[in-house]
Amino acid sequence: MEHELGSVEVLEEADVSIPVILPYENVYVIQVGIRAFKLSGASLSSDAPSYFSNFFCQKDNNNRVLFVDRSPVVFEKIYLHLQGYHVGIEDELDYMHLWQDALYFGLRKLQRLLKNEPLFARVGDRLFRIPRHLFRLENCPNFFLLSSDSLVMDALPPGVSAPMIRPPPQRPHLTVNRSPQLFADLMEILWGNTGVIKDDKHRLLLVKECRYYRFLELEQRILPHKIVYNPFTQQEEIIMRLEDIRRGGLENSTSPNEELNITYVRPHMISEPRRTLVLQIDASPHSELRLVMSRKTEVALLVISNKIAALLLTNFPEFGAIYADDVKTGKLTLLCGLQMSSVIINGMSLRHDWYLDFLTRANQEPQAKMQKTNASGDYVEFKILKSTWRIIQWERRMRLQAVSIEAISDNYNYHQTLGFL
């Protein structure tokens, strides 16, 4: 924690006590490269035991000058740290060099302080200073924290401990050849500014970056979704696309007496409550999505194939158990309800009970006017463009309940949707 005193921040975990290891009043000289540093026993004891205190505690070395063949520029920051100052770090090289020497000299207090410093990451040609608190538990471990940990582990070769002639040279680990602008947008969203998302294409790019850096919670926040309050059920609902949901977030509640909605909580969103899932299923290339109205059986069926069917079965294998014959052909034919759904066909908004009028009129038409389609009977079908559904479960059975549908009936009405460039 940090307390603000005017414009000064005081670290609560800072330990101002100094153990008595070397006499406080004595002055010791450390020659680092071409520069000599004089430190009191109090300063050397403030981060001890260390390479320095171990040297000067030896009786024969009490009045000797300790020579260290390291950079005086890096040591100047260590010098300030031993005197009780906060050390400023400029970039990733500065951090890495200071960490190497802190480990080499056995300055454990400085190592602890450096572990709490912001992460320095170079993405593309841009340097980022990332506060560690932005990486909450839900976004850990990620690319940057794993790389930072590997820096700590790789600073000394396996089986070798300080002191050695010198630690091995290292390049900064937190360097990645990715888009700096996309990473800057991710940082803005981590700070809570979701207004940086420009459009669906930009959102897709950000999701890909999240997966690369393993920002799992952030990915869920960026994925398209809508959270709404249903005043009639007095419950919250979450609308998500079929391709974005994960089976681990689903909860199937069964009851012998009533049908229940499938609920969903986004993975890695630890504090998020469960909500009724409204699943968005839209037309996609090489996948069939049809609403079929049977005039003979007076039922509505949703016909799904290929990629959409595979995604549905991945998250809801119960559909495969019910419709096993269709699964073998790569196609699902699911019973669906249309009550109180919002339906637009060929650009025309229909009444909530339109399907009842349709079936009644269809059964009263002369047989010659009926649309013959196959040997199994008469039916009409609509190609679905966009749709949302609630998934209803009763005991071991599942069905789809339409919320909203946009569909077309023929090629002419499809052409009506094309417009111009």
pLDDT tens-digit readout, 369-412: 334 433 344 678 899 999 999 999 887 788 899 999 999 998 99
Asked if residue 345 lies in contact with residue 382, where contact means CB atoms within 8 angstroms, the answer is: yes
Q: Write b or e for each residue in 27-66: b if 16 or more Cβ atoms lie within 10 A of its Cβ, otherwise e.
A: ebebebeeeebebbbbbbbbbbebbbbebbeeeeeeeeee
Q: What is the reported pLDDT for 287?
A: 86
pLDDT for position 360: 57
Q: What pTM does this model have?
A: 0.79
Between CA 346 and CA 358 the distance in angstroms is 15
What single-letter DSSP state applies at residue 61?
G
Q: Quote the pLDDT of residue 317.
A: 85
| Residue 275, C-beta contacts closer than 8 angstroms, at least 6 positions apart | 227, 235, 236, 237, 238, 263, 264, 265
Residues of each domain in the chain carrying CATH 3.30.710.10: 2-176
Joined together, the tokens standing for residue 251 give 């909860």
**CATH number, domain 2-176:** 3.30.710.10
pLDDT for res 219: 95
Rounded-to-integer distance, Cα 78 and Cα 253, Å? 60
Q: Which pLDDT score, from 0 to 100, does residue 271 have? A: 86
pLDDT at 3: 45
Pull the structure tokens for residue 401. Answer: 């309940």
pLDDT digits (tens, 9 = 90+) for 189-200: 999 898 999 999
- Separation CA 263–CA 265 (nearest Å): 7
The 10 Å Cβ neighbour count of residue 381 is: 16
Q: Please give the chain's pLDDT, 421 residues, in tens.
A: 444 444 445 454 555 678 889 999 999 999 999 999 999 999 999 999 999 999 999 988 888 999 999 999 999 999 999 999 999 999 888 998 999 999 899 999 999 999 888 888 899 999 999 888 888 777 888 888 887 776 665 555 444 444 566 777 777 767 789 999 999 999 999 998 989 999 999 999 999 999 999 999 999 999 999 999 999 999 999 999 999 999 999 987 766 778 889 999 999 988 899 999 999 999 988 888 999 887 777 788 899 988 999 999 999 888 876 665 565 667 888 889 999 999 999 999 998 888 886 665 544 544 433 344 333 446 788 999 999 999 998 877 888 999 999 999 989 999 988 888 8
Rounded Cα distance, 154 and 162, in Å: 13
Neighbours of 80 (CB within 10 A): 13
